[in-house]
Structure 1
C-alpha cells in the first residue's frame, strides 16, 4: 500500500528559485532512498480561513508563500527505511544546513493511502487539503473520499489521493494536528487532487460544486479543513 510523507512549508517569496533548486538537488537522493515520486508545489490560490488555513498552519508571514509537498513510497516499510538513511547520510545534513526557509515551522507526517481515484500523469496543478477526521469514522471517510474522488475525476481531475495519518508527530512550533485543531480522538488526513491545468481545475470545481452528488454529509468537521491551489515546481 502506497505510503506518503507529507510536508507543508513557508518559503520567502524571494527564495522561490533557491527553493526549487534546493528541492531539485535533493530529489535524486530521495529517489536513491526509495521514493517513487517527489512533488513540490508552490502556493498559487491559498485562501485565508476563519478557523484554520495553510498560512496559519506554518505561521507564514506576508512575504512568504506556502509550499505543499510530498514523497510517495511503495509502502511504510520503504518509507521507514528511507528515513533511517536520511538521518545518517551526510548529504542530507549538508542540505539541511542551507535550507532557503525556516525549517522550524515546517510541518510533516507519514500517511497511509486510504483512497485513490484516477492515475498519475499530466499534472500541472494540484489542490492540497488537510483535515481532522474522527478515528472511528475511518471507513465512512474512505467511502466519502471514493465517491467524491470519482466525481472529481469525472469533471476533469486526473488523480485524487486521500491518505490517513499514521505517524504525525507533535512539533514545538507547528504540526499537522494544530494546523486543523485536531482533538485527541481525531486523525489527520492529507489529501490532494491532480489537474492537467489550472484552467481545467477552475472549470472543474464549478461543475463539482453544482453536482448534487457532492451534497452528502461530510464525516468530519469541514470548518477546520485547510485547502489551497498550488502550481508544481518539481515533479520527479
Structure 2
C-alpha cells in the first residue's frame, strides 16, 4: 500500500516545549480518532550530529532556529492522499478545532513552520 505522510519541521522556543507537548497530545488524539494511522511528534535532541565531515544541513539550520529555540519534527501517516484529505477535513470540522476552544495562544510561530505532503516511494515496517 502506498502510504501518505504529512510532515512538519517547527522551530519552537525552548520555554514552550511543555505547552507544545500538551497541544500535540490533544492533536494526536484528534487525528487518530478521525482515522490517521500514526501521529508522531519529536523534539530536537541530537541536533548537531557527528556526520564524519559529510556536509549537510541540520534541522536547526533548516528551520533557522534562534539561540533560545529547538526544533520539533512531526508527521502524520495516512493510507493515501485521498485518505489524508478525508481525515484532515474531519479534523478541521471537529468542534475541538474551533479557535474559541483554545485557552492559550499557539506555542510557536505558525509562519515559520514548514509543512509538506509526501507520497511514499519506499516503506518497511517491522512486525
What is the TM-score with the length of structure 1 in the denominator? 0.46
User: Matches of 1:7 and 1:93 in 2, distance apart?
Assistant: 21
CA distance in 2, matches of 1:93, 1:100: 17
- C-alpha deviation, 1:86, in angstroms: 3.3
Q: 2:68 aligns with which of 58, 63, 71?
A: 63
Find the partner of 2:111 among 90, 96, 104: 104
Aligned residues: 120
**Judging changes above 3 Å, is the alpha-carbon distance between structure 1 residues 109 and 47 closer, same or farther for their aligned structure 2 residues?**
same
Higher RCO structure (Cα 8 Å, ≥6 apart): 2
Q: Which segments of structure 1 move beyond 4 Å, counting only runs of 4 or more?
A: 48-51
3-state DSSP class of the match of 1:85? helix
Distance (whole Å) between structure 2 residues aligned to residue 92 and residue 60 of structure 1: 27
Unaligned runs of 5+ in 2: none
User: How far 1:14 sits from its partner (Å)?
Assistant: 1.3
Q: Flag the structure with larger Rg.
A: 1
Higher strand fraction: Structure 1 or Structure 2? 1
1:51 Cα shift? 6.7
Partner of 1:113: 120
Q: TM-score, normalised by structure 2?
A: 0.81
Give 5+ residue unaligned stretches, structure 1: 121-236
RMSD between superposed Cα atoms in Å:
2.4
Quote the Cα distance in structure 2 between the aligned partners of 1:55 and 1:19: 17
1:85-135 deviation line (CA, Å, top 9, x unaligned): 33333422435x732111111111111111123426xxxxxxxxxxxxxxx
